[in-house]
Chain A
């Protein structure tokens, strides 16, 4: 039974890419922050929500942050974390939405679909419409590994695929303010595609 709980915990942790960094920082006086996270922290103004990304990492660095994961930690409840599988319904809207390599994006072929639609996904059936949580104008800080995205890798380069994603987003008024694409294994924790999206002109 004890082993099962350990296994369950490890599996739960696996989807939260920033969890190891959070654990590593917990007892450090001088906390360590990677460049992408630092960029997010420096640019986030107001309130932020981190979804499906090990958001407690950001608790160490940001003052007004809400952490939402897909399913509860199996060993014990984690202070400061909310769970979308428990039917969370925010009245509050946030200024920023942070998504670091979210497992719920895995196998998706559309970032727009992932943001907007409440559908079954890699982490279960409970991912909400993420844009509903965001004030207008709000910012989305999204990073993902291209290995997680479903697309035709024989027809399109990673840059082509990202450009198509951004065109799809732009049709709804969601604009890309920052884009960085590096080699796929260059940043396993955060993912090699990093973008900041603005919903200033969003029609959704």
Chain B
């Protein structure tokens, strides 16, 4: 990431006075004590910065793939699930995945899904990630964000103005 990006981010932060919403810090706090070796091929730069010390050597099999690049959410969902499975198979312990609900674009749609969007995301992700032995859902998808904003008087979605973080988050474990 360019220096210009960092300056721009800092300018916004200083001017508006908001705190960085730190999903990667939360993830780092979970992963750092585990001492797992991590693969960062598909991750956002910030998690690599936070957990660089745990990066797996190129010639070794990583314990955990960290797949958090938000741009990946824009590829066809079926391809994304294939990527998840491929990384899962290549890992020792499993994968961590993060995606943005506003970018999901499946090839086929399922009108029989009967829950809210967040519930349907969980249903579809669990179904397509059933290759995993254990699934932990850490997602923070907000249903009807405008309706919620009307009730509480402010918006949560995009509240750090421009930068949007993934809101679909799962650990897929082998054990």
Contacts and interface: CB of A to CB of B under 8 A. Distances in A.
Interface of A: 3-4, 6-8, 10-11, 14, 106-109, 113, 119-122, 147-148, 150-157, 160, 184-185
A151 B121 CA distance: 12
Given A11-B16, A154-B113, A122 B155 contact: yes
Given A7-B11, A107-B149, A122-B155, 7 more contacts: A8-B15, A11-B162, A106-B158, A108-B146, A121-B155, A122-B158, A154-B110
Contact of B109 (A109, A160, A184): A160
Interface residues of B, number: 34
A154 B144 contact: no
A13 to B, nearest CB: 11
B5 interface: no
A3 B9 CA distance: 12
A152 B123 CA distance: 13
The main secondary structure of chain A at its interface with chain B is loop
B52 interface: no
Interface string B47-77: 0000000000000000000000000001001
Which 8 pairs, one residue from A and one from B, show the smallest C-beta to C-beta distance?
A: A7-B11, A7-B15, A153-B104, A4-B15, A152-B117, A107-B145, A107-B157, A120-B149
A184 B75 CA distance: 11
B154 A4 contact: no
B83 interface: no
B124 interface: yes
A118 to B, nearest CB: 11
B103 A147 contact: yes
Contacts of B77: 154
B14 A4 contact: yes
B12 A154 contact: no
A11 B15 contact: yes
A6 B153 contact: no
Nearest to A3: B11
A155 B157 contact: no
B92 interface: no
A7 B18 CA distance: 13
Contact of B120 (A7, A152, A160): A152
A184 B71 CA distance: 13
Contact of A119 (B8, B113, B150, B157): B150
A154 B15 contact: no
B109 A157 contact: yes
A120 B150 contact: yes
Given A109-B146, A152-B117, A10 B8 contact: yes
Contacts of B150: 119-120
A122 B105 CA distance: 23
A185 B71 CA distance: 12
A11 B121 CA distance: 32
A184 B162 CA distance: 19
A10 B39 CA distance: 35
A150 B146 contact: yes
Contacts of A185: 74
Contact of A154 (B121, B158, B162): B121
Contacts of A107: 145-146, 149, 155, 157-158
A120 B11 contact: no
